[in-house]
Amino acid sequence: MEALPPYALKLVAAMAFMGYTLGSVPFGLLLTNLAGAGDLRKIGSGNIGATNVLRTGRKDLAAATLLLDAAKGFLAVAIAWIMTPPDFSDRTVTVAALAAVVGHCYPIFLGFRGGKGVATGLGAMLALSPLTGLAGCATWLGVAKLTRISSAGALAAFIVMPVVLLALYGFSFQASPKPLAAVLISVLVIARHHENIVRIFSGKEPRIGEKKP
């Protein structure tokens, strides 16, 4: 078994802290408050993500939230990659990616009540594996356009991405920790959508642009 360098645990912990802290920044809530669009936690689903920002009627704020939330995941991976020796970077970037999504879902700044991790997860996956991230984005956009249900697109994307990344590594978890990170991120994002899944199957999930009853 490969011996870990003496700094390994400290570096992993530092990248986990960095990813979690970055992921915890609630851009959707900050933008809507600054723009005078109201407290996002009291609008629509109460979620802090771009889909709920869209329910304020501010498409510009929704687009900005989407990009900034995705940037959290992407930057967490990029920073970990830059700050880690090449022979150890696979471990730290995957920890940073997972931590960023956990931070978005359970942000320390909002009492651990956050979003569902879709944009942040997509950003992290784009950084971990551009092909996998692009496949996820295409799936999300395609399914959302067909169904006009954002959550359906998100769920489809996070089913597709682990499969794509596993295929790139020969359906093995041994070559890199990245496929395992993709699975864990997807499990978390899908679990955060449990209420959406119930509404989708009952035909009660709001369409894109509709206000939640």
For tokens 């998100």, the residue is 154
Sign of CA pseudo-dihedral 163, 193, 201, 29: negative
| CA-closest candidate to residue 83, choices 18, 22, 146, 133 | 18
Low-confidence ranges of the chain (pLDDT < 50): 1
* C-alpha 47 chain-centroid distance: 14
Largest CA distance in the chain: 56
pLDDT at site 1:
42
pLDDT at site 86:
84
Q: Which helix (H) or strand (E) holds 18?
A: helix 8-23
Residues 18, 206: Cα–Cα separation, whole Å: 35
Residue 78 CB burial class (10 angstroms; 0-12, 13-18, ≥19): middle
pLDDT at site 132:
98
Question: What pLDDT digit, counting tens, does each position of 112-157 carry?
Answer: 999 999 999 999 999 999 999 999 999 999 999 999 998 999 999 9
* C-alpha 33 chain-centroid distance: 22
